[in-house]
Amino acid sequence: MRVIIAASDGDDPKWANHLGVPKQLAPLDGAPLLAHTIGQARSISDDVHVTLPDDPRYDVLSALPGITRHVRAGDYPSEYASTRDLWAADDRTVLLLGDVYFSAEAIRTIADAGEREIRIFGREGASAYTGSDWGAVFATSFWPEHHAELDRHLTEVHYEHAVGHCLRPPGWMLLCAVQGTPWEVHTVQPPWFVQIDDLTDCIDRAVDYARHPVFMTAAPTAAIGPRGS
State the DSSP code for 96: E
Q: In whole angstroms, give the CA distance from residue 76 to residue 161.
A: 12
Indicate the CATH number for domain 2-143+190-212.
Answer: 3.90.550.10
Residue 63 pLDDT = 87
Q: Judge contact between 100 and 138, C-beta under 8 A.
A: yes
Query: Among 219, 46, 142, which Cα is nearest to 211's?
Result: 219
Q: What is the pLDDT of residues 126-153, one digit of tens each?
A: 999 999 999 999 999 999 999 999 999 9
- Using the Cα atoms of residue 187, residue 188, residue 190 and residue 192 in order, give the sign of their dihedral: positive
Q: What is the pLDDT of residues 45-80, one digit of tens each?
A: 999 999 999 999 999 998 899 999 999 988 899 999
Residue 31, CB half-sphere, CA atoms under 13 Å: how many?
Answer: 10
Q: What is the pLDDT of residues 18-51, one digit of tens each?
A: 999 999 999 999 899 999 999 999 999 999 999 9
Q: What is the pLDDT of residues 87-118, one digit of tens each?
A: 999 999 999 999 999 999 999 999 999 899 99
Q: In whole angstroms, give the CA distance from residue 197 to residue 122.
A: 8
Confidence class for position 217, pLDDT limits 50, 70, 90: low
Residue 196 pLDDT = 98
Residue 213 pLDDT = 94
